Chain A
């Protein structure tokens, strides 16, 4: 039951990822809040293109000067693209976390899964609760 999003919509997860959906594709990255919390990002391991992920799977790893953190798949589907530029320029995650610092694109299989995600206002409130 693929739900198509005719317009681009951005959702957020409790793990501080952003998910921009358009049609049946979702571009995923970590939020500015997460990037600021991590500090200087020194390495990103993006998922392999072609990999099938289930919502909640460990999908990528982001390493900062402090520690390694897992990035979870926000939706189930197939990884159809990954940001190869992060290999040589991991600092893009700090500089432009919600644009150039994207991690991967998932072709998602169940649009209903977006129902569990937050919109911008809800995520803002969620971050306030974490401070």
Chain B
């Protein structure tokens, strides 16, 4: 039975490499993925001080282009941007060539269906090509939604058969510069097109750790040879999903399906910053009425950082109480190696969202002292 389950799991092009490096593998988003190599804590700390290489090929990179091209390439961008803006509340039309933006896919009730990064590629295209990366666990349903809503108007090309990897940490730029000259000069949320070992790549300065770093979309074979080269560098170590989770939690970054989902709108999730002013004024995205109401009157609940004041971690599902009354729930929690203590995120009643508010965390039935904390727990180290 166990073998059967393993056989059903998909493998990324770097799977064999992980196994050969002694990774402990676990099922994640339908893939057999490395959860750790040498250990969560050392991998986490390495990424904060050196450079960590993450295989994120389970995610959902894709391209969205106009079904019918136009002769003016700037107009092509406006047209494809207008189409994706029907599904997301962020301003995509105003992206400059090579610029990326975090956004959220919303349903009619402003519930978050996914978070995604939308990039206007630096090379202009008559069909106005957008590069979009969605979460692995929900990529099939996201893409089905794109197909359904934009049928006949846009063409979706999935690109999840190659390698998507992230090189994160303060040494990432100096390491990657010798492979992709010029990448050191990119600013946060900007990308460039490049090539390695005969494969065309998209190199984006972004990530999910709070550190400076890059994500690289690259064909399978070239991606494998690049990963092998990178881990030969003494500044680079392979990092598993365990440290990826503790890094993003310390950085205050949401994990879809945990810190936000269809039951939360972007204002509750404290992601209102992804909705630019022009979109608020036009109010032309799914659930706009609900979002605008939450923006003007405040949400009922809000996502906040939670700091357990004792050493016991407060994990996902831990009830948050104030004076014995339930006021919220932890949605992500664990130990933060850089903080050297437990850290968590969760939702509390909006009137209790102020950092410093004392709370009780119901860990295994016992109240333990905690407080609402400002996010992130560890300062972001992005290249602005």
**Inter-chain contact B337/A65, CB cutoff 8 Å:** yes
**Inter-chain contact B41/A90, CB cutoff 8 Å:** no
Asked if B242 is at the interface of the complex by the 8 Å CB criterion, the answer is yes
Asked if B40 is at the interface of the complex by the 8 Å CB criterion, the answer is yes
Asked if B277 is at the interface of the complex by the 8 Å CB criterion, the answer is no
> Which residue of A39, A68, A88 contacts B313 across the interface (Cβ within 8 Å)?
A68
Interface size, A (range):
10 to 19
User: How many residues of B are counted as interface, with CB atoms below 8 angstroms from the partner's CB atoms?
Assistant: 17
**Inter-chain contact A61/B40, CB cutoff 8 Å:** no
| Distance, CA A7 to CA B224, complexed state (A) | 58
Asked if A24 is at the interface of the complex by the 8 Å CB criterion, the answer is no
Asked if B312 is at the interface of the complex by the 8 Å CB criterion, the answer is yes
> Which residue of A39, A43, A45, A63 contacts B39 across the interface (Cβ within 8 Å)?
A39
| Distance, CA A118 to CA B337, complexed state (A) | 36
**Residue ID in chain A nearest B35 by CB atoms:** A66
**Inter-chain contact A45/B40, CB cutoff 8 Å:** no
**Residue ID in chain B nearest A68 by CB atoms:** B315
Asked if A40 is at the interface of the complex by the 8 Å CB criterion, the answer is yes
Q: Given that A40-B39, A42-B335 are contacting pairs, would A65 and B242 also be in contact in the complex, using a CB cutoff of 8 Å?
A: yes
Asked if B342 is at the interface of the complex by the 8 Å CB criterion, the answer is yes
Most chain-A CB neighbours within 10 Å: which of B44, B311, B337, B364? B311
**Chain A residues with CB below 8 A from B311, complex form:** 42-43, 87-88, 90
| Distance, CA A42 to CA B242, complexed state (A) | 15
| Distance, CA A100 to CA B41, complexed state (A) | 22
Asked if B204 is at the interface of the complex by the 8 Å CB criterion, the answer is no
| Distance, CA A40 to CA B44, complexed state (A) | 12
**Inter-chain contact B312/A66, CB cutoff 8 Å:** no
**Chain A residues with CB below 8 A from B315, complex form:** 67-68
Kindly provide the distance from the CB of B159 to the nearest chain A CB, expressed in whole angstroms: 32
**Inter-chain contact B335/A39, CB cutoff 8 Å:** no
Kindly provide the distance from the CB of A91 to the nearest chain B CB, expressed in whole angstroms: 10
Kindly provide the distance from the CB of B310 to the nearest chain A CB, expressed in whole angstroms: 8
**Chain B residues with CB below 8 A from A40, complex form:** 39-41, 335, 337
**Inter-chain contact A42/B342, CB cutoff 8 Å:** yes
**Chain A residues with CB below 8 A from B242, complex form:** 39, 65-66
- Interface residues in B22-45 by Cβ distance below 8 A to A read 35-36, 39-41, 44
The contact string, 1 if C-beta is below 8 Å from chain B, for chain A 76-116, is 00000000000110100000000000000000000000000
| Distance, CA A68 to CA B342, complexed state (A) | 13
| Distance, CA A68 to CA B314, complexed state (A) | 10
| Distance, CA A68 to CA B311, complexed state (A) | 13
| Distance, CA A65 to CA B36, complexed state (A) | 11
Kindly provide the distance from the CB of B297 to the nearest chain A CB, expressed in whole angstroms: 38
Kindly provide the distance from the CB of A59 to the nearest chain B CB, expressed in whole angstroms: 12
> Which residue of A45, A61, A65, A87 contacts B335 across the interface (Cβ within 8 Å)?
A65
Kindly provide the distance from the CB of B44 to the nearest chain A CB, expressed in whole angstroms: 8
The contact string, 1 if C-beta is below 8 Å from chain B, for chain A 36-76, is 00011011010000000000000001011111100000000
**Chain B residues with CB below 8 A from A42, complex form:** 311, 313, 335, 342
**Inter-chain contact A61/B337, CB cutoff 8 Å:** no
Kindly provide the distance from the CB of A87 to the nearest chain B CB, expressed in whole angstroms: 7
Asked if B57 is at the interface of the complex by the 8 Å CB criterion, the answer is no
- Interface residues in A25-40 by Cβ distance below 8 A to B read 39-40
**Inter-chain contact A39/B364, CB cutoff 8 Å:** no
Known: A42-B313, A68-B313. 11 other contacts (CB 8 A): A39-B39, A40-B39, A43-B335, A43-B342, A61-B364, A65-B39, A65-B41, A65-B334, A65-B335, A66-B35, A88-B311
5 sample A-B contacts, Cβ–Cβ < 8 Å, listed by A number? A42-B335, A65-B242, A65-B335, A66-B242, A88-B311
